[in-house]
């Protein structure tokens, strides 16, 4: 697996998710499997098949998280430069079409959460803005069309 770049916060979040999946969720799925197994003939037991599939998906997700954490490179964003848009910076933008201001923190794919204002550096907006400075207007191609954003402020 290629290197996975994460902030410390993102790394801790993935570790916590892995702990939950290995503990609580594994026990939950094991109980579902046990209950389904108790229903009798396993060849015609759709609950058992569903529980087996849930277990397989859970184990797959656990392996994926383990691989991501093993390949993770934690980046300290506390010293990220604020002269340009970089990984880990907080950027205030003005949508020149709508006049609305938005604030995004640029993070890795695994940390992205638009509702929390965390945008992937690999998203269309992230890719377009990386390396640009305050005062610049950047045209971003998104599924809804082209949106011009003015970079108002960059911080950590």
- Whole-number pLDDT of residue 41: 67
Pair 91, 104: CB distance under 8 Å: yes
- Whole-number pLDDT of residue 39: 75
Scored b (16 or more CB within 10 A) or e, 90-117 reads: bbebbeeeeeeeeebbbbbebbbeeeee
Q: 111: which 2 tokens?
A: 């940390």
Can you list the positions of beta strands (E) in 9-59? none
39 vs 118: which has the higher pLDDT: 118
Alpha-carbon distance of 137 to 121, in angstroms, equals 18
Is pLDDT of 103 > 80?
A: yes
The overall pTM is greater than 0.85: no
Residue 9 — very low, low, confident or very high, per pLDDT cuts 50/70/90?
confident
Residue-wise pLDDT for 33-51, tens only, equals 888 888 776 677 788 888 8
What percentage of the chain carries pLDDT values higher than 70?
97
- Whole-number pLDDT of residue 1: 65
Alpha-carbon distance of 116 to 90, in angstroms, equals 12
Is pLDDT of 59 > 90?
A: yes
Is pLDDT of 78 > 90?
A: no
| Residue-averaged pLDDT of the chain | 90
Domain architecture of the chain: domains with CATH: 4-75 (1.10.287.180), 77-155 (3.10.50.30)
């Amino acid at each position: 697996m290629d290197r996975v770049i994460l902030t410390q916060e993102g790394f801790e979040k993935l570790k916590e998710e892995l702990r939950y999946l290995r503990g609580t969720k594994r026990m939950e799925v094991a109980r579902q499997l046990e209950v389904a197994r108790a229903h009798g003939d396993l060849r015609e037991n759709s609950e058992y098949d569903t529980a087996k599939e849930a277990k397989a998906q859970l184990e797959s997700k656990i392996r994926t998280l383990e691989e991501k954490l093993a390949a993770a490179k934690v980046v300290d964003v506390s010293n990220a430069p604020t002269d340009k848009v970089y990984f880990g910076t907080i950027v205030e933008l003005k949508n020149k079409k709508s006049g609305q201001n938005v604030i995004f923190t640029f993070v890795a794919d695994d940390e992205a959460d638009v509702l929390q204002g965390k945008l992937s550096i690999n998203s269309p907006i992230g890719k377009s803005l990386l390396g640009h400075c305050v005062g610049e207007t950047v045209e971003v191609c998104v599924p809804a069309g082209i949106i011009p954003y003015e970079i108002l402020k960059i911080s950590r």
